[in-house]
Chain A
Amino acid sequence: MRIMCCLKPVPKPGTVKVDPETHTLKREGSDLEMNPYDRYALEAAVTLAEETRGSVVAVSMGPPNAEHILIEAFSYGADEVVLLSDRVFAGADTLATSYVLAKAAETLGPFDLIVCGKVSVDGETAQVGPEVAAWLGWPSVIWVKKIRPAEDGLELVRVIDDSQEKLKVALPLVITIENEANDPRPPSIKRLLKADELEIKVLGAEDLSAEAKYLGLEGSPTRVLDVYTPEYKGERRVLSGPVDQVVDSLVSILKERGLV
């Protein structure tokens, strides 16, 4: 089984910078790390590739300083790594991002399966996986916690609210992985020793034959109006005195506000 695994570079906590004009995250100036949820996606992809004698291509869209994430992906078992990097990709929302990833799947494919993390810690939209499927015209299954290779496809268990659902699905397919799905492996020393010779393929818009109107800010219908840190302005009052009086005044305050 040939698998593409999408890995998102996210800013390390505490290093987040926002572009004051576009209100989007500035990834160039931030210290980037692999989206923690994507570790589970990669583990699922690598395990499945091992079970089916297949291979994993780890793909990341981001600035050149995201390369170390792909070296990390190689150390966790990815067979090939590709960085999708181009100035025109900047400012992409989930739709423009998923377009680039879908074009990468076409360019680097054919793939039987695309695996994504269930959500990213910065955007928290959980949209990219299903949108990649939509661009490719493939089905998608989200929040998968168990995967088993089956004849002509996969057997999956996915989480739905308070229960779970067992599915038998045909390929090709996009899935997103729950973090209870597996126990991600540590990096392999053997692979890290070989990381010096690792070829990180870098592809831009032209390499992917991507259309400009779907890329970057132009291809992003989402407009971020403002990004701010919410201020918590809780009103605090201390009621003191004998217990009876305190209880009475508390009850009357709650009644006043229609809370009881």
Chain B
Amino acid sequence: MLDYFLTREQKIIVEVARQIGEDYIKPYAHEWDEKEEFDWRPIRAMAKADLFGIFIPKEYGGLGFGTFENCLAVETLSKYCAGVTTTFAASGLGAYPILIAGNKEQKAKYLPEIAAGRKLCAFALTEPQAGSDAASIKTTAQKDGDYYILNGIKQWITNGGIADIYIVIALTDPKKGARGASAFIVHKNDPGFAIGQKEKKMGLRASVTTELFFSNCRLPKDRLLGREGMGFIIAMRTLDLSRPGVGAQAVGLGQGALEMALHHTRRRIQFGQPVFNFQAVSHTLAEMAAKLEAARALVYSVARYIDSGAKSISGPSAMAKYLASETTMWITERAVQMMGGFGYMREFLVEKMMRDAKCLQIYEGTNEIQKNVIARELAKLDQEG
């Protein structure tokens, strides 16, 4: 309903993402979800459309835009299928560490391939024993002359097996805990690196999630990102930059659910009239629309704030992810309810949207962790206390 005064360039990004949604995602989203199937076709289309280069600098073959433009693309694509968008967004998540901490050679080597969509990325922090407690990772990277030798397991890694480039956080100095963590670039075909089986998920079923195994995986030392010991800082900075993207994913998904519920309730006749005429329904849709617009406004503001070059972005970024995903979980649940039996049937996509929404409250830091981040930033504001 609102006009956010997008520039010509931003409108082009939205329009191209919309076309990809209509032509390459919408007709197949149901089937991918049912069959739990990853399809390269929409990913190749996004690559040809230059979407993978949105926030990659022009000097590396990207479009040179920022977080906001990336959020616009993610939001638009998510309206059609949050699963496919997860593949896209997770590749961006894996590209951030190279942008943040890569040296000139690393940027020149990897970013053009990423921008062109020729290579997908994955970001590997989580381990079987280290989810929300990310600092307790066990994967090690032992220095051996000009090499590092990686050993350990990463879990629930989006794009496992389909990505060519993996950013892996591992301990170079296990005694120091999180301060002894470093970030590495791992190639899909590196010896000692193996992909686990595909996980079965509640939602986001068009995306691929796997374990990663490192068994004496030998990496040349130029695969280290930044310096030893910077791994955790790089990881946290990456998440700060990417979390508004999860918020944008939630906004797009919520928009899809709202539109579906609106379309249905305006046409479904009960008691001689469209069910939308009953205030129990129309007021619910009004609440959905108002809350969604508020979430969108927050996500956009945070993304623009990040692009302004702001330094303290952790709190706002966590707010965008937290609030938008909570809102969309509620919206999708209400959308199912407003559509009744139709909402509950797998034939209609709204129940898929509800399953997809659940993950947005969990991945890239659970919403409980987001609240920790927000609370920590709040405490800083009240120094005397």
Contacts and interface: CB of A to CB of B under 8 A. Distances in A.
A34 B24 CA distance: 19
A186 B16 contact: yes
B16 A189 contact: yes
Interface string A188-212: 1110110000000000000000000
Nearest to A190: B50
Contacts of B48: 185-186, 188
A188 B50 CA distance: 6
Contact of A189 (B12, B23, B24, B45): B12
A185 B9 contact: no
Interface in A161-183: 183
Contact of B63 (A183, A185, A186, A190): A190
A48 to B, nearest CB: 16
A13 to B, nearest CB: 16
Nearest to B51: A189
Interface string B14-44: 0010011001100000000000000001000
A187 interface: yes
A190 B53 CA distance: 10
Interface in A55-111: none
A186 B77 CA distance: 14
Interface in B61-109: 63
B20 A186 contact: yes
Contacts of B19: 186-187
A183 B41 contact: yes
B13 interface: yes
B53 to A, nearest CB: 8
Contacts of A187: 16, 19, 49
A78 to B, nearest CB: 14
Interface string A14-37: 000000000000000000000000
A183 B41 CA distance: 9
Contacts of B49: 185-189
Contacts of A186: 16, 19-20, 23-24, 45-46, 48-49
Interface of A: 183, 185-190, 192-193
Q: Which 9 A-B pairs have the closest CB atoms?
A: A185-B48, A189-B50, A186-B49, A192-B12, A190-B50, A186-B45, A186-B20, A189-B16, A188-B50
